[in-house]
Amino acid sequence: MNKLSSSTLGLLVLAAVLLCLPLVLPNTFYYDVAIRIAINAVVAIGLNLLIGYTGQISLGHAGFFGLGAYASAILTSRYGWPSALALVAAASAIALLALLVARPVLRLKGHYLAMATLGLGIIIMIVLTNESAFTGGPDGLAVPALVLFGWEVSGEKSWYAVCAVALLLMAWTAINLINAPGGRSLQAIHGSEIAAFAVGVDVTAMKIRVFVLSAVIASVMGSLSAHYVGFITPGIAGFHHSIELVTMVVLGGMASVFGSIVGAVLLTLLPQFLSTLEGWETVAFGLVLMASMIFLPKGVVPTLRARLRRGAA
């Protein structure tokens, strides 16, 4: 009961922040950053379900993001599909792909699973780079605007609205998923896979379902991101992006929905701050990664929560 009300409180705070933010953002550049944070946050929440709750590492999630982006881009720009239809089609195709790979991949454990997902992500990126007739190759592909129910989404303010709604929706869905009866098995797997199996949870089915779900979420946000930026390159499916996503999840706090949002905020803002360091950005980013994992191994939100609880006690 306690957990439910803290989550509802969190959602209300999130909604309030999203509503009030436009009042303080000085220009469209800040809206742009907010939009990118929101997109990353949604993907991170989805990835957290996989990494934090079912305990499966994925070092190639940017691959699904990239595939969604490219599918939407190619269907709309080369074949003239309406963007909403393309988005759904892309997500469905990714769902199918995820389903196909899920069973063999999820049989693997630990570092072997990491390697397999890493391999998947890199293969996707290489294919996107090489099939330039379709994808425009390393020089990228322009993406037409998103049209939702007859409304062409353009301009930072409209996109902010779309992404804010998406983020709220995702957070609410994730919390309900975790706290619902079906979601209890998710928490059980997080606690101990063997124990969950012992009490009758269909661990494999659950893992596959979460894998596919997180892949679809990444795909949808990839499509949205493609329409927003208006231009995509194969780099969005690359290893660096996958690591950024995993870091958002881990730094924010595994198995914590709000943690993923915090992680997304931190990791998206970081390059903006580092851009003033001229030449030292790589070193600084590496140091931040190391320091945050060494001093906050549980993630920001869980560590804060524990401190607050200790303070209250």
Partner 1 sequence: MVAEFLQFLFSGLTVGATYALAALGFAIIYNSSRVINFAQGEFIMLGGMSAVALTGLGIPLSVAIVLAIAVAGAVGALIEKFAIEPAGRADVVPLIIITIGASLVVRGLVQVVLGKGTHALGAFSGEKPFVIAGATLLPQSLWVMGVATLVVAALGWFFGYTRLGKAMLATSHNTLAAELVGINTRSVLLLSFVLSGALGAVGGILLAPITYTSYDVGIMLGLKGFVAATLGGLGSGMGAVVGGLLLGVLEAMTAGYISSAYKDAMPFVLILLVLFFMPNGLFGAKTIDRV
Partner 2 sequence: MKKRTLIALAAVWVAMLALPAAAQSKDPIRIGAVLSTTGPAGYLGDPQLKTLQTYLAQINQEGGVLGRKLELVHYDDASEAGKANGFAKRLIDDDKVDFLIAGTTTGATMAMAPLVEKAGIPLISLSGAVVVVEPVKKWIFKTPHTDRMAAEKVFEDMKKRGFNKVGLLSETSGFGQSGAKETKLVAQKYGITLVADETYGPKDTDTTAQLTKIRGVTGIQALLVFGLGQGPAVVTKNAAQLGMKLPLYQSHGVASNEFLKLAGPAAEGVRMPSPALLVANSLAANDPQRPLVTSYAATYWKQYKDEPSTFGGYALDALMLGLHAIKTAGGTNKEAVRNALEKTRGFMGTTGQFNMSATDHMGLDLSAFRMVEVKNGGWSLLK
Q: Which residues bind partner 2 (CB under 8 A)?
A: 26-30, 32-33, 36, 129-130, 132, 137-140, 142, 229-233, 235-236, 271-272, 275, 278-279, 281-282
Give the 3-state secondary structure percentages of the chain, helix then strand then coil, rounded to 5: 80, 5, 15
Pick the stretch among 74-82, 86-94, 179-187, 274-282 that binds partner 1 (CB under 8 A).
Answer: 274-282
d(CA 159, CA 161): 5
**Nearer to partner 2 by C-beta: 5 or 275?**
275
d(CA 11, CA 178): 14
**Nearer to partner 2 by C-beta: 156 or 167?**
156
Q: Which does 243 bind (CB under 5 to 8 A by kind): partner 2, partner 1, none?
A: partner 1
Beta carbon of residue 140, minimum distance to partner 2 (angstroms, whole number): 5
**Nearer to partner 1 by C-beta: 298 or 305?**
298
**Nearer to partner 2 by C-beta: 132 or 173?**
132
Q: Which does 119 bind (CB under 5 to 8 A by kind): partner 2, partner 1, none?
A: partner 1
17: burial class by Cβ within 10 Å (0-12, 13-18, 19+)?
A: exposed
Pick the stretch among 20-28, 147-155, 216-224, 241-249 that binds partner 1 (CB under 8 A).
Answer: 241-249
Q: How crowded is the C-beta side of 110, counted as CA atoms within 13 Å?
A: 1
| Among 56, 65, 190, 52, CA closest to 117 | 56
Pick the stretch among 39-47, 72-80, 140-148, 276-284 that binds partner 1 (CB under 8 A).
Answer: 276-284
**DSSP per position, 206-238:** HHHHHHHHHHHHHHHHHHHHHHHHSEE-GGGGS
Beta carbon of residue 126, minimum distance to partner 1 (angstroms, whole number): 4
**What is the per-residue burial (b if ≥16 Cβ within 10 Å, else e) of 128-160?**
bbeeeeebbeeebbebbebbeeeeebeebebbb
Decide: helix, strand or coil at residue 148.
strand
Beta carbon of residue 174, minimum distance to partner 2 (angstroms, whole number): 26
Residue type at position 246: V
Beta carbon of residue 172, minimum distance to partner 1 (angstroms, whole number): 26
Beta carbon of residue 11, minimum distance to partner 1 (angstroms, whole number): 27
How far is residue 187 CA from its own chain's centroid?
A: 20
d(CA 284, CA 286): 5
- In the stretch 173-202, what mask flags binding to partner 1 with x, by CB under 8 A? -------------------xxxx-------
The answer to whether the beta carbons of residues 169 and 258 sit under 8 Å apart is no
**Nearer to partner 2 by C-beta: 112 or 280?**
280
> Which residues bind to partner 1, rule: CB under 8 A?
51, 57, 59, 104-105, 107-112, 114-116, 118-120, 122-123, 126-127, 130, 192-195, 239, 243, 246-247, 250, 254, 279-290, 293-294, 297
